[in-house]
Amino acid sequence: MRGEIMSDFDLSRGPTPSGDTFYPVPLSDPTGHVLTRADMRIRTDIGFFLPSGGLSLKIRLDAFDGMALGSAPVGIPSASTSQDPAATVIKVKRAYAEALTPFGLLMVGRMGNQFGLGMLANSGDCVDCDSGDGADRVAFVSPILGHLVAVAYDLTSSGPFVPDKPGTRVIDIDPSVFVNTITVAVERYHTDWSVHRRAKARKATFDYGAAVSHRWQKNDIPATYLPTATPIAINAAQVVSRGFTATSVDLWLRLAGPGYRIEGEGAYIHGQVDQPSLIPGVQYKNPVTSDQLGFAIENDLGDAAGVYAFGVDGGFASGDPGPGLGAFPKVGAPPPVAGDLDGAKANPPIDNTVNNFRFNPDYRIDQILFREIIGTVTSAFYFRPHVRVTPIRFAKGELELALAGVASFAVYPSQTPSGDRGLGVELDPSITYRSDVGFEAALEQGTLIPLSGLDNVALHLPAKPAQMWRLRLNYRF
């Protein structure tokens, strides 16, 4: 369970030229700046194992996933005495089977997708994660010469569908619109517990990995995902030649030992869309291309079980010089103009590149700017010094005090609302209590001091500081 108080996330700098504020404001008082939010989630990871070994089935169920406390009142809100149980949704996030063969482990089903730090592929396993990557995948992992070698095929997207004769299953009526992904990965990997145990024995652990993924789609049917005023009949006339390909290379390194940890991940993505048109019968002459680069570095100095630890993290996500940062462009929205915070980076046939790298939203470095206002790290670089102190340890738990500072800057000044590079300086303190029975309580605070890159030049309004308070209660069994 978690509750939040958010103050001035719109930075009191007025709307962008497109008429949007950086963050929602109260409906009844547009000049107000305080919003609240509280939600919860029940997560159950279930594993069924054949007693004789060799076979397993693993399922993840999420209930009340992100459901706001107080939502779905029964009847008139002021007279409600309960919440509507029909609004409760149980999501099956994962369901996959494993079979141990003489040559390795074969996995089939819908499973989490994670690599390295989780900067690019993040399965969202942390207690405070909100999304998480998954894949409908067939994978085979084999130990070879002290490494794990994995090969995976993902059916990333399929359809459209029609029912079969009995109406119990569906038929993919155009395999040419499938989005397919193949991944090959090699890792030398130790679990966190193994790294901790080796550090206590005064041993260093060097882990590393590399993953290469290739994704492609021949044709596309935009009518299946574009917003339309009236439904469109899905037939052969709606098929558009797409010619989409994308290849990513992801590298991960970790060196850990007694009193230190240095870990980094870097990824490069090249993609191309031969025909970017979304309208059947309308074609563009030039393809849309993408070259994206991102990396993140983390380090801790100090014993993980000691009184203190500190370090300086950093990261970079490539940008694209057009207006807006390009974090979460909306399908069908008009292209951004100078002064906007977000928007699509490609606008064919005028602009045919999308070069801004986007971190996975569950890889978080702060509390306000990238996590809430922008939504993820993109088109920016940052520095993050941090310190952690554990002054109290006793039989049943520990109390931890932490402080992180984040200085963030845009890769291209032309991407920011004002045309200046500076985005913000943020201070994020927290107090956390953990017990050995699985209970954790954390009080987190964040203060964002925006820099000139977020000012409203057109209205001559400087961006003002924002603050956040969050209380988290986690119960683990």
Confidence of residue 30 (pLDDT cuts 50, 70, 90): confident
Q: Is 174 left (phi over 0), alpha (psi -120 to 50) or beta?
A: beta
Q: Helix or strand or coil: residue 2?
A: strand
Residue 229 falls inside a structural domain: no
Does residue 329 lie within any of the structural domains? yes
Structure confidence at residue 468 (pLDDT)? 97
pLDDT at 227: 83
Residue 413, CA atoms < 13 Å, CB-side half-sphere? 9
Distances 74 to 42, 70, 71, 79, 83 between C-alpha atoms, Å: 22, 10, 9, 8, 6
Average pLDDT over residues 422-438: 96
392 within a domain of the structure (yes/no): yes
Backbone angles phi, psi at 206, to 5 degrees: -115, 115
Beta bridge pairs of residue 300? 261
What is the DSSP code (8-state) at residue 348?
T
pLDDT of residue 304: 65
Residue percentage of the chain with pLDDT more than 90: 83
Query: For 381-420, what is each residue's pLDDT tens digit?
Result: 999 999 999 998 887 899 999 999 999 999 999 999 999 9
In a domain, 434, yes or no: yes
Q: How many domains does the chain have?
A: 1
pLDDT bucket at 426, cuts 50 / 70 / 90: very high
Q: Which pLDDT tens digit goes with each residue over 122-150?
A: 999 999 999 899 999 999 999 999 999 99
Would residue 114 count as lying in a domain? Answer: no
pLDDT score of 306 more than 80 = no
Looking at the domain assignment, is residue 193 inside a domain?
no
Cβ burial, residue 30 (10 Å; 0-12/13-18/19+) = exposed
Query: What is the bridge-based pairing of β-strands 104-112 and 90-101?
Result: antiparallel
In this predicted structure, the answer to whether residue 303 has a pLDDT above a threshold of 80 is no
User: Using alpha carbons only, what angle is made at residue 85 by residues 84 and 86, rounded to the nearest 5 degrees?
Assistant: 90
Nearest in space to 188 (alpha carbons), one of 253, 125, 249: 253
- pTM of the model as a whole: 0.93
Cα dist. 326→141, 267, 283, 302, 465 in Å?
Answer: 36, 18, 24, 37, 23
| Within a domain: 108 | no
Per-residue pLDDT averaged across 338-365, rounded?
94
* 297: CB partners within 8 A, 6+ apart: 262, 263, 264, 313, 314, 315
Q: Model confidence at 463, in pLDDT bands (50, 70, 90)? A: very high
Question: What six digits make up the tokens of 328?
Answer: 């979460």
Instruction: Note down the domain range covering 357.
Output: 1-32+306-477
**DSSP 8-state secondary structure symbol assigned to residue 17:** T
Does residue 394 belong to any structural domain of this protein? yes
Tokens 């007693």 identify what position? 51
The pLDDT tens digits for 162-200 are 999 999 999 999 999 999 999 999 999 999 899 989 998
237 three-state secondary structure:
helix
Within a 10 A sphere around the Cβ of 390, how many other Cβ atoms?
19
Res. 226: pLDDT tops 90: no
